[in-house]
Copies of this chain bind each other. A is one copy, B any other.
């Protein structure tokens, strides 16, 4: 179906459903009917450390959960078994073909002005090198503009992007687009200063892109420390040289699965509140803040509602998408599988993919009225939200997530789970995104917040309006 027509249809059905509910889109929800349920949810969530324990067990037992890896599929098998044991309904693995990039042995060796191995991580999707590697003098630049200005110096060199972290969105462009820009000016490889605000000699991996018609050159991340050193050496005219060796290969796509489980709605089971995170991670660390913790929080929120016997009007469906990191195949497969009618029947899509630190609320994106309707729910969340934070506490306007993006683009209201995540990019895509970075108390409070929002959205009488 052409996208524009599809969106129009969805918008129309959303408007009709909104009108059919009899409630004005602008009417703030009366949350009094949900106060008792919210209290029970909070009490149950804070009674033990079940969610934290599951996240820790998953991280420790399976390690990373990279697309194409056996450890991801083992973790998925375990979750499916556990969800069935939890008593969730319609528990299933939804098949998804995912990319299989394999890192292999890799290194960056400084060969001049002295010999020293530099900590590094190849970037997902990069081509490899021969076993001898690629050795060349470096050209250190601080921006794409500088690369353009110095294009004549790049031929045969290894481009090093020494770009300090400002915001993720701005800085990550050098990771995703760096190899293309470097290859266009004749570089033989490119390296990016790791995308993070704090480094303890910490390489950050992540995905990267090539462009048709542009040579595919090896692309990897080095540490902030190494990039800064190469910059100083270049500034002193010492012409540093590096040898980049990467065994990276891309195998044929492999079978993975989205993990799905439900509490079937008691009145309108075809209407669905989707809640989830992405079960895949990068191939280092344990992927706890990104996004194992988010998955477990969403899953445990639904398990808790089930245990409390809270079966709402609509279906609550936990979806743990696969392959968010380097393909988004899980998200597109899920959206394709429900189709336009499924999107039209999706009351709300909630994603947790910004870390599981102290909960501060949710961010809402939707057509006029969605935010105003949901805003009063923050009164129910207050007992588990932070008392102080550097970001606004409560339900704010604006938010979402990569995995619910395909639904949101069809008009489904989207919600991003928000936590006090100032340190998120310290750990992001590194060996340090591990269980110890989770706080058990925070995890349990996030479970309560997610459960309350999902329950109220599934129980409230009115449909939320769809459309942009």
Residues in chain A within 8 A of chain B (CB atoms):
56-57, 59-63, 113-114, 116, 119, 198-202, 224-225, 228-229, 232-233, 236, 285, 426-427, 430-432, 434-436
Are B436 and A225 in contact, with the CB atoms below 8 A? yes
Bound CA–CA A75/B242 (angstroms): 23
Most buried by B among A57, A113, A229, A435: A229
In the complex formed, the residue of B with least CB distance to A235 is: B56
Residues of B within 8 A of A436 (CB): 224-225, 228-229
Q: How many copies does the complex hold?
A: 2
Are A113 and B61 in contact, with the CB atoms below 8 A? yes
Are B200 and A56 in contact, with the CB atoms below 8 A? no
Bound CA–CA A202/B431 (angstroms): 10
Bound CA–CA A116/B202 (angstroms): 18
In the complex formed, the residue of B with least CB distance to A229 is: B60
Residues of B within 8 A of A198 (CB): 200
Are A426 and B114 in contact, with the CB atoms below 8 A? no
**Cβ 8 A contact of A202, one of B57, B200, B229, B285:** B200
Are A434 and B229 in contact, with the CB atoms below 8 A? yes
Residues of B within 8 A of A427 (CB): 200
**Cβ 8 A contact of A228, one of B200, B232, B236, B435:** B435
Residues of B within 8 A of A199 (CB): 200, 432
Give min CB distance, A53 to chain B, whole Å: 9
Knowing A225-B432, A225-B436 touch, does A60 contact B232 (C-beta < 8 A)?
A: yes
**Cβ 8 A contact of A114, one of B61, B232, B435:** B61
Bound CA–CA A415/B200 (angstroms): 30
Are A201 and B431 in contact, with the CB atoms below 8 A? yes
Knowing A60-B233, A225-B436 touch, does A201 contact B430 (C-beta < 8 A)?
A: yes
Residues of B within 8 A of A59 (CB): 229
Bound CA–CA A60/B234 (angstroms): 11
Residues of B within 8 A of A61 (CB): 113-114
Give min CB distance, A117 to chain B, whole Å: 10
Bound CA–CA A139/B432 (angstroms): 23
In the complex formed, the residue of B with least CB distance to A228 is: B436
Are B432 and A201 in contact, with the CB atoms below 8 A? yes
Residues of B within 8 A of A200 (CB): 198-202, 426-427, 430-432
